[in-house]
Structure 1
Amino acid sequence: MNKLFPEIYESLRFLLIDLQKQLLAVIEGVNEADPESFARSLSRTAYIENAHLSLLNRAYQAIQNSNQDYRAVIQGYEHVSYSLISLSRQLETISYQLQRSDALHSLQKKRVLSALQDLNNGLELIEPAIESEELALSIDICQLQVRMDKVCRQQLKRYQQKLQERYDEALMQSSFVVKDIQYMARTLLKVGEGIISGKLGQFIEIDSYQKLEATLSAMDLDLAEHQIHIHSMGETKSGCTISGVASASEAQDELLAIFKEGQKKKLLEEKIGIESWHEKFPGIAPEVYSYQKQGDKAALLFEYLTGKTFDKLLLDNRTVLQDGLNCLFATLTEIWQATEQAQGINTSFMPQLQKRLKSVYAVHPEFNLKGLQIGDAKQPSLETLIKHAIKLEQKLQPAKAVYIHGDFNVDNILYDADKCEINFIDLHRSDYQDYTQDLSVLIVSFYRLKQYSPKIRQRIRLSMQAIYDFGADYAEQHNDNDFALRMALGLARSFISSTRFVLDKEHARAMLYKGRFILEHLSQMSKQEYKNYQLPKELFRD
């Protein structure tokens, strides 16, 4: 790291020198019971603050002048610096406490000095860890936290026992000091994580690192030898973080695998979903390399699939987008034919919408209208429209169940133009269901994209229309007479419920109005009119 940005590294070295002086003065003060040592420790704080500000200024200049590839390294320096300044402030607090109270005389010096010496050992490892091509020393810094924390917890337990027997002000102050040392242990852990992150190319916590290390063993890769590079690829709506894993010798776009971390329940569902797709329609889902769990968290390492998601294809040329849709329609036809079950499953679009209304109103409280009346004209509330639509939905004939994606958004479908191949990702909701579930979600996921140029909105309209027409053709071929009504209810559900992901008020209102229009239209129709229902094509226009 220092070879790339020597000026930033120079500021970090000055910060470290003064921080060690500050720490050693505290160690001497505890060992010798010398208040003057604590005064010397406090005198270093201004130097440390200046070195920290110098590093941040130099990091800012470096970010302005460097390309994207080096920003993770610079941010790694910043993370380390912020952690070190936090250590300095914690040492400052300890010095004030020991200088102005009787806590010094109640400390168990052997344990406290042991923890402080581990902290000093960690500071001494920082420069070698940064300069090293490997991660072993950075990991050693993180592991010192475990030793320090253990010593502090043992000492705090003894203080608590004594305080339960008899309250003592000095013992209470000593507890605060030990607690501050415990906080410093956690801060030292952040230092090690910052160095690891700078080397890997993305911020990563040690728990995540250990999961990644375990999962990469399935690919015969060793993080400790710095054979790989990782970079962020975003975060899902469910809170999972996604990273790309590449060989350190390769370009970032030549990925080896995808590393996904988040709640164990979500990732276990995704693992099961992927495995289920491999059984039902091989080749559509990525291969799982490894699954690791720890507490309520888990990590999944799986195959990196080539191709572009449909939100990216939309920004490409129109021909590539149309080719992608045609390939998708052919693939869906194959999947539905291969997985079709004789028994249909009723849709539950309206109950789903009822459950999500609270979340919609939390983002858009102005949507929560209880019905309007002007003269004899009445506008029913959204809740009333949904209750009416539930009665209609219960009477509809379900289609034969097929295996569906379950979260069929534009960013969960990949199209590889070179291979003319479709792949699915994010498969934690896959199950047997009515195919209108996937089609209605896909149509609305196109509409809600935050792309407002007339050319792109035109492509969005044509894509929505193409998806609907494909579904209608499939329904006609399979004598699915209620397709239009089920799709209407599915679209109403998705238009309204998806507004909770759209902060642009004008865009969100357009989606609400489209959903309401469908429900109001259906509520005014007779049973005879239902038989010949056709979805108004104007719904696909802005």
Structure 2
Amino acid sequence: MKDILGNFKFLAIETENQIKLTYGLLSDFNLEVLEKIGAKDDYIDNLKTTIENACFSRIATLKPSINQEIINRIRAVHIICVNLERIADFCVNITRQTRYLTSNAFLQQYDYKTMFTIIQKSLSSITRVYDDNDLTGALHICKAEFELDRMWEENFKILLEDLKQGEGVTDLITTIFIFRYLERIGDSILNIGEALLFGIIGDRIKIRQFEALEKTLSESGFDGTLNDIDFASIWGSRSGCRISKVSRKKPSGFKAQGIFKEGGIKKIKKEHENICYWESLFPGLAPRVFGYYEKYETASMLVEFLSGCTLDQIILTEDAEVVSNVIFILEHTIIEIWEKTRNEMTLKTDCMKQLSARLGAIKRVHPEFFRPSFNINTFTVCATENLISRCQKIEESLLAPFSVFIHGDFNTNNIVYNHEEQKINYIDLYRSRQGDYVQDASVFLVSNFRMPVFDPDFRERLNRTTLFFFSTFKRFAAELNDTTFEVRMALALARSFFTSTRFELQYEFAKNMCSRAHFLMERVIAHEGKPWETFSVPPAILLY
């Protein structure tokens, strides 16, 4: 590690010196300086390669379970060094532009010097911030990019106005390129700052996400500093949101753990509104919101971290008594929600429309799942997309007799059970709305089916759970005289089976789900013209 850090500091010094030399060249056009910059570039490239090889070799000897902090620090060095070498390359690019300037005096009309001052200040602090684990210093380095962006935009507007005059066009275009390279140096400085944050807190986080966390914690009433926080990424959602767990390094009992979510304002704001609405309907069902913050096109919130396990974990890992208990509580929770939020107005469903919207994503993963139309003697087999189109027309004539407030993404991993408190919680509530209960029911059933678990004993557990809830849903429909329940369920299951294939790379399993989707759609089309109340979904379609 000592050799890595030694070379890292040499690289930082050499890169900073390239910035100084480049600034000097632009100030007085000294050709000797131009040669020095070019000569140093190869040395910097080689030094970066040496550090890179040493980082990879060192990481290969470490066990993540024991040495994760050291590994994170080495990874941070690697990212920083890649960007230092990139900055040095930008210096060379800037020097090459000077040959197109007609005079040194022309460039002096524009404020490039302040940008160099910001760059040099940031570079000079990198090794100190790394050595001291200086969180504030890392944030200052990140924020330098914002100032460099602002100066690039200001100078670019001035240069565009000057171009309109039609004089000194070559000089003006060259100057634009020089400022653009300075702005790109700012991008690399931001990468360095975020790498320093990673080395300090142990998780990759962008500066806007860090600022959002800071503001959201403040909104929650948190009275410590960010140095008091442990931050651990949980996952990045498919919608692009960042989801992480935050906690005090020394738990105090006050909101000691929470889930931090940051992303586009539309999604986070909607989820915040939905959580609040769920709380008004069923207090305690959704996690509490500790803090919420909006800025420009993004938003963030800190919500309660719910202790317990997700339903899929329980079904596969707990004993029969616990599984039986959670199924009993979940059944009563679902029925209570549906009964309490039922609205007697009829509702159009759109499962086939949802499927159509996801066909592109499915094709990118499994293009072979889309069959063309073909004939078997006098019988014509419908092409996949024609099958979906025909089912969509059928669905337009089917109305759900009532609506309920649905979860909207009712997968088993969005249901949390706390055995000690005998309590069910719903999470990930962005898509909650008034809708057809068949939407939630079908997603729930297929989320059980699509678990890539093939051990016979575990599969039997999943099958029993699926059949139990399918019977529960059928009974609920019968009690409310929902005569089109099964045909709507067939279309909803077809949608869920088919769309699930885009997340499954195990070909045979994905193909199995695709075949079930086709079977259900064909079964619906074959029943067209007959009373829909006589249609049935064969339970075996849900078993694997």
Using the size of structure 1 for normalisation, the TM-score is 0.89
The structure-2 alpha-carbon separation of the partners of 1:467 and 1:110, relative to structure 1 and needing over 3 Å to count, comes to same
Farther-moved stretch of structure 1 (375-384 vs 120-129): 375-384
Q: Within 5 Å, give how 1:56-455 maps onto structure 2.
A: 56-64=52-60, 65-67=62-64, 69-70=68-69, 71-98=71-98, 102=102, 104-108=104-108, 111-165=111-165, 166-221=167-222, 225-249=226-250, 256-317=257-318, 319=320, 320-386=322-388, 389-390=391-392, 393=395, 398-455=400-457
Tell me the alpha carbon deviations over residues 469-505 of structure 1, each in whole angstroms, 9 at most, x when there is no partner. Answer: 2212333444444433332232122222333333333
The whole-number CA distance in structure 2 between the counterparts of 1:15 and 1:159 is 34
Deviations 1:250-288 (A, max 9, x none): 69xx97111112221111211111111011111111112
Alignment of 1:483-494 (within 5 A): 483-494=485-496
State the aligned residue count. 536
Q: Aligned equivalents of 1:72 and 1:250: distance in 2?
A: 24
Give me the identity figure in percent: 28
Within-5 A mapping of 1:462-473 = 462-473=464-475
Distance change in 2, residues 1:501/1:98 (3 Å): same
Aligned: 1:10 with 2:24: no
Residues 519/247 of structure 1: CA separation in 2 closer, same or farther (3 Å cut): same
1:221–1:126 Cα change, 3 Å: farther
> Does structure 1 retain, via aligned residues, the 8 Å contact 2:527–2:535?
no
Secondary structure of 1:226's aligned partner: helix
Query: Which residue matches 2:25?
Result: 29
Displacement of 1:467 in angstroms is: 1.9
**1:310–1:149 CA distance, 2 compared to 1 (3 A):** same
Q: Which amino acid aligns with 1:288?
A: V
Letter of the structure 1 residue corresponding to residue 187 of structure 2 = R
Would the alpha carbon gap of residues 86 and 387 (structure 1) be closer, same or farther in structure 2, given more than 3 Å must change?
A: closer
* Deviation per residue, 1:49-107 (Å, 9 max, x gap): 23323332333244330425424433322222222111111112123333675464422
C-alpha deviation, 1:197, in angstroms = 2.4
5+ residue gaps, structure 2: none
Q: Distance in 1 between matches of 2:531 and 2:150?
A: 74
Distance 1:173 1:533, change over 3 A: closer
Cα 1:378–1:172, aligned 2, differ >3 Å: closer, same or farther? closer
User: Could you say what secondary structure the match of 2:317 adopts?
Assistant: coil
Q: TM-score, normalised by structure 2?
A: 0.89
Q: Structure 1 residues 134, 394: closer, same or farther in 2, change over 3 A? A: same
Distance 2:393 2:159 in 1: 66
CA distance in 1, matches of 2:93, 2:527: 73
Change (3 A) 1:134 1:24: closer
Query: CA offset at residue 346 of structure 1?
Result: 4.1
Name the CA shift for 1:335/1:7 in 2 (closer, same or farther; >3 Å): farther
Give the conservation status (yes or no) of the 8 Å contact 2:28–2:104.
no
Q: Which moved more, 1:66-75 or 1:116-125?
A: 66-75
User: How far apart are residue 464 of structure 1 and its match?
Assistant: 1.9
- Flag the 1:56–1:402 CA change in 2: closer, same or farther, 3 A: same
Is the contact made by 2:101 and 2:174 (CA closer than 8 Å) also made in structure 1?
yes
Corresponding residue SS for 1:111: coil
Deviation at 1:228, TM superposition (A): 0.9
When structure 1 is superposed on structure 2, of 128-137 and 217-226 the one drifting more is 217-226
Mapped pair 1:536 → 2:533: no
- Aligned residue for 1:97, secondary structure, equals helix
* Structure 1 unmatched runs, 5+: none
Once residues 7 and 330 of structure 2 are traced to their aligned partners in structure 1, the CA distance between those partners, rounded to angstroms, is 54
Alignment RMSD: 2.9
1:15 touches 1:47 (CA, 8 Å); kept in 2?
A: no
Structure-2 separation of matches of 1:62 and 1:255 = 35
State the one-letter code of the partner of 2:49.
Answer: L
Change (3 A) 1:73 1:422: farther
Aligned residue for 1:493, secondary structure, equals helix
Partners of 1:122 and 1:144 within 8 A in 2? yes
Worse overlay, 498-507 or 352-361:
352-361
8 Å CA contact 2:342–2:403 kept in 1: the answer is yes
Cα gap change, 1:341 to 1:159, in 2 (>3 Å)? closer
1:344, distance to aligned residue in structure 2 (A) = 4.2
Shift in Å at residue 215 of structure 1?
A: 0.5
Aligned to 1:501: 503
In 2 relative to 1, CA 436–108 (structure 1 residues): closer, same or farther, beyond 3 Å?
A: same
Whole-angstrom distance in 2 between the partners of 1:109 and 1:53: 39
- Give yes or no for the alignment of 1:50 onto 2:46: yes
Q: CA deviation at 1:384?
A: 4.8
Asked whether the 8 Å contact 2:110–2:155 carries over to 1, the reply is: no
Mean Cα displacement is larger for which, 376-385 or 29-38?
376-385
C-alpha distance 396-140 of structure 1, shift in aligned 2 (>3 A): closer
AA in 1 matched with 2:267: K
Structure 2 distance, partners of 1:47, 1:526, is: 75
* Structure 1 range deviating more: 511-520 or 532-541: 532-541
What one-letter code is carried by the residue in structure 2 that aligns with 1:81?
C
